[in-house]
Structure 1
Amino acid sequence: MIIFGTKGHLHQLAILTLVCVQCRNPSAHTLRKRVTRFTLFFVPLFPVSTKYLTQCTFCGAESKVSAEQAEQLQAQDAGGPGSGRPYGQPPQQPQQPYQR
Structure 2
Amino acid sequence: MLILFGWRTTIEQLRMLSLVCGHCHNQAAHHLFRRRTKPTIFFIPLFTISSRYGLQCTFCGVSYDISKADALQLGAHV
Q: What is the SS of the residue equivalent to 2:59? A: coil
Which residue does the alignment assign to 1:66?
67
**One-letter code of the match for 1:42?**
F
Identify the structure with bigger relative contact order (alpha carbons < 8 Å, sequence gap 6+).
Answer: 2
Instruction: Structure 2: state its 5+ residue gaps.
Output: none
1:38 aligns with 2:34: no
The offset of 1:63, in angstroms, is 1.2
One-letter code aligned to 2:6:
G
The size of the alignment, in residue pairs, is 75
SS at match of 1:47: coil
Q: Does residue 15 of structure 1 match 2:12?
A: no
Give the whole-Å Cα distance in 2 for the aligned partners of 1:20 and 1:26. Answer: 6
How many Å separate the matches in 1 of 2:75 and 2:6? 31
Cα distance between partner residues in 1 of 2:6 and 2:49: 11
Distance 2:30 2:47 in 1: 29
Q: Which protein has the larger Cα radius of gyration, Structure 1 or Structure 2?
A: 1
Offset of 1:48 from its aligned partner? 1.6
Root mean square deviation of aligned Cα: 0.9
5+ long unaligned stretches in structure 1: 76-100
Task: Note the alpha carbon deviations across 1:35-75, whole angstroms, 9 max, x for none.
Answer: 01110110000112111010000000001110010011016
Identical pairs, percent: 47
2:1 paired with 1:6: no
Q: 1 or 2, which has the higher strand percentage?
A: 2
